[in-house]
Structure 1
């Protein structure tokens, strides 16, 4: 072919440069994965609250393995299926959720970003999914209910040695319209969360020279921190000290299965037990009348080298089906994409929960960041299902996923 010098008219269509956009919304639109949101969150959040979210116990092996478990699979797609309309809705604990994922309970949430639990509950309400408030949350049960009056609000409970205080929280949760109580059972003592120890995470947060310097070049976080109500654990306002000291002094290390009987009699709504890590315990909790279980190792924040929920899932699902149990199987820990959620559903989960994934969005952009995290996961799920040749959650099966190891 004969060469020629290009004309301007040939080059003009190729030289249309985008105008730079630096707004929060533009920044969030550029995030296409939860990992992208994590990168933004790390740049905008001081080290102590970021590490509280991002870190895990001891060597953080459990968290790393949990995330790797979702990568060590092979999808088995079907072809020539009609996937023109993807339905991501599913029923969980007696009600419909628009997506097969809800927001897990997280503590200290307004420390990560000032909108905290309000952003999470409102984003969940808008998305048509459940939101779970933690006992160690920084907004009260009543305030969260008022912030998302049409949302499906759940409450997570740590059983204390002081049963009267536990009962008070249970009654407040019921009065505020929470339909599900999620009791966490894997915190007999605190895990060794070494990032928090090194960063000196306390309740309420202490402003040391180090934290002041770290926040000084993150002006938005600093401004929000100073101009909103002081941070406390809303349900634990009488306590001061480190997170580990709180767990070790207030939570009940003598908790047994018999305490589930007391909870079942006390709470009239759905009862979910979070922190199941063996098939035997899943069966036993079902026998004690739980409506749901959460396969969870606390996001790797308690026992390092704990069982990986995703690896445990097929055996637990099979065991509960074998005893004709109607207990809902919910899974958390390690989820960083919609494909992870689809894989969990295919292997037997009825529902999933996200903690860090939504918190990265919160730190990246407040309520808009949480919305973006949910949008990313929804788009991932819809695309993955379409490529698998599946249009409904109920059509997913173990045949769609092959475990490469674990």
Structure 2
């Protein structure tokens, strides 16, 4: 179609594991011999699947495999997936940072990329000098950059430091300036890879608003990678979902987010991924208990259940604080619970301790949720924290005791209520 600004056809990218470069002279000779005969690289046939949870079964891996999609002018395309799914590799290919092993990419117009904080910035140059440097890299003339100079500086919020070398900027200041340059110099395609997570909430709101303006008002295209599903939902008109280097979904935003969240969303057992060897107090296990039985992380709306937190301590501690946050599928905090709020005193003994968080008539709609638990001493010092490492699913239940399942998706909570006509 004439309105297509980006077309990706059969893109694959292969990397060698364990070594930098081709590794051996025999591999180089093999590649050379196949190349002069006009044949494909022989090692492109032997790569393994990009599943980082498994042990390598060969010397090569497909970071991306058989990627196909098109993007229309003015579209905001979300690219989502778990860590290691291939998102950043895809953006590097689209930005021509590296080249694909197979396939081709066709684009119309200039591409501006924000792949890492400060990419393309020279640390010894001032912020203003880097504006002109980045503009030149994007193919802008000096007069074009000059006409946008003040808009860029005002949007970035770095006016005080604009004549200071960028090496003295914080990571947040660098990403503010980099985003402002890329957005205001009006590329045809703007590629953004999670760098907005470095900025504060106020700047993220400004940046998302600016991306909406340049896509809707300016008719420019945005490719947006983020783990913030709220931002993806607010910004993107369509998403592709990557898993193990392949596209598993290419659809509307809400359907894509549901598919993304379903990838490994529920695990039957709690396990920590961080190092707890040096911790004096740590959370050893978390589980849902319903009617005295472990629920395997699935409950129904309206259920009575206990969130059982098992804590190991190398010492006795008095009056600790146990804070529990429950987050929705998009990452927003829905509920905050604390023993301090209900004036419940919790003292730890040396060894194993169990803390029960009782939640009657659970008021959440069907969906996936995650739990953050923070342990603090009496003086506020942090003891341990797990962030969204325990997840559970809510299914439709008879919350209102009417004999009907409550699966209505309007609103966020189920609230006990009565509605009747007054006499």
Bin for the TM-score computed over the shorter chain: under 0.3
Q: Determine which structure has more spread, i.e. the larger CA radius of gyration.
A: 2
Question: Per residue, is there more helix in 1 or in 2?
Answer: 1
TM-score, structure 2 as length reference: 0.25
Question: Normalised by the size of structure 1, how large is the TM-score?
Answer: 0.26
